[in-house]
Homo-oligomer: A and B are copies of this chain.
Amino acid sequence: MSYSLVELARLTATELIGDGSVTVSRLASIATADVNCISFVVSEARAEALKTSRAGAVVVPSALASEITHGLVSDDPYRTYAELSALFDPGLPFDAGIDPRACIASDAQLAGQVSVAANTVIGEGCVIGEGTVIGPNTTIYPGTQIGAHCLIAANTVLGSDGFGFAKGGNGWIKIRQLGRLVIGDDVEIGSGCTLDRGALDDTVIGHGVKLDNQVHVAHGCVIGDRTAMAGCVALAGGTVIGADVTVGGMTGFTGHLSVCDKVHIGANALVTQSIKIPGAYLGGAGGVMKAADWRRNAVRFRQLDALARRLQALEQACLK
């Protein structure tokens, strides 16, 4: 797998700098690249790295075009890096096609070019779109619908029961989960995720949604197109997330609330109310501190309302 720079310029629609016959056989980070590698620098702020890099060729923004001997000029070097990564990818992690050790219900409908790796279980009535690739040891409950060109990693569970119980006289009465899980096209779902079927209405994952590992989506959630969620995010039941939303890792949603389009939420926050205005949001208590400092401050958090009332009393006494 090796390419000349003139080929790469053509394949990525970028501008060639230097000798187009220079050949590279690997894609590498700027710090570890050697003469056989192509690498990239995303912005002028990282220009310093060019000086010490041994990369044979580098993708740069136009502001850095004069700083390289051989390489490509791109209006978005990070996007060009993504395109190059496909060219240098040796291919599917597990063999294409249906592994004979996959367990697929006889009435499941799999479109053309679907790949299902070993030990994956696909239940009755599932529908899986063209070109979708499913990793090993994944479980897909009956009735789940998955669109085309999706990528589902390993050990993920799609369409299992939501968590629903009513109080009975003698413990909990299970609410049977009668809805489905419906996933759009071009969706990527990481490893170790759990996406539940709906209680009554379906759980719906839009087109182009990207979920990292260990994401949990409860019953009846709706996630809009192109929304991306980092690792360990959890959505309680009935959370409705708009399109083009991004969510940082470990953030939770308490359920039965909605988030509008184009909202960007940081890591480790808890969303307890609907968000109706696009923009950036953060939550949580901030980063770590030396243990002794944290203990002193955390104790005050428990007194915060009392402190605020004391401040108010003092203002009234002193500023009248």
**Chain A residues proximal to chain B, CB less than 8 Å:** 27-29, 32, 76, 78-79, 81-83, 85-86, 88-89, 93-94, 99, 101, 103, 117-119, 121, 123, 135-139, 141-142, 151, 153-157, 160-161, 163-168, 171-178, 186, 188, 190-194, 196, 199-201, 207-208, 210, 212-214, 216, 218, 225-226, 228, 230-232, 234, 236, 248-250, 252, 254, 265-273, 275, 279-291, 293-305, 307-308, 310-311, 314-315, 317-319
- Verify A178–B88 contact, CB threshold 8 A: yes
Closest to A264 in B: B291
Taken together, the copies of this chain in the complex come to 3
Minimal beta-carbon separation of A303 from chain B (angstroms): 7
When C-beta atoms are compared, the residue in chain B nearest to A100 turns out to be B103
Q: Which residue of B lies closest to A255 (CB)?
A: B249
| B299 engages A301 (CB within 8 Å) | no
Given contacts A234-B249, A314-B319, 15 further A-B contacts (CB under 8 A): A82-B174, A93-B142, A119-B137, A121-B137, A135-B139, A160-B190, A165-B228, A232-B234, A269-B288, A270-B286, A271-B287, A275-B288, A279-B290, A280-B291, A283-B289
